[in-house]
Structure 1
Amino acid sequence: MRIDLSNAIATVENLLDELREMHDTEVDEAPTRASRRHRVHTRSTLQYLSHLSQRASVEVMDTYYRFKREDDSSRGDHG
């Protein structure tokens, strides 16, 4: 049986790229429209980063359950 984590790896690589891009970002707190747009973009990006991390976790768990199901079947376990 082959463990395939390619989806999780791709997601984590994407997450790492996004994290590196976001790291050390300076947020302008001025009360201007441009600053407000930048803060909204920053919030959205942080939320997207959280989404990517959760997606990677789900992809790993999908692989785990696929492995467990096949392993249990090969051993004759049905519980």
Structure 2
Amino acid sequence: GDDVHEHVVEEVATDVVPPTPTSSSPSSPVIPSSSPHQSPYPPQPQDAVGSSHLFQQVLDTCSALVLRVEGLENANAA
């Protein structure tokens, strides 16, 4: 009976060992995946919409700044 138990433990250990090389590299991705855990995967589409909206805001701000700078340059030139 003990031999069977030890064999099972060895099998589990060998099963765990192959992921260990991979889990050593995911140990760094665990930090990014902690934020998806805070906001689960379903909200990600909302995040995409929010980021595109934010991107649009940034674009609008940049174009507004460019227009202002061009206006200032034109005013200085005149």
Tell me the TM-score range normalised by the shorter chain: 0.3 to 0.5
Compare the two structures and name the one with the higher helix fraction: 2
TM-score, normalized by length of structure 2? Answer: 0.46
Give 1 or 2 for the bigger CA radius of gyration. 2
TM-score between the two structures when normalised by the length of structure 1: 0.45
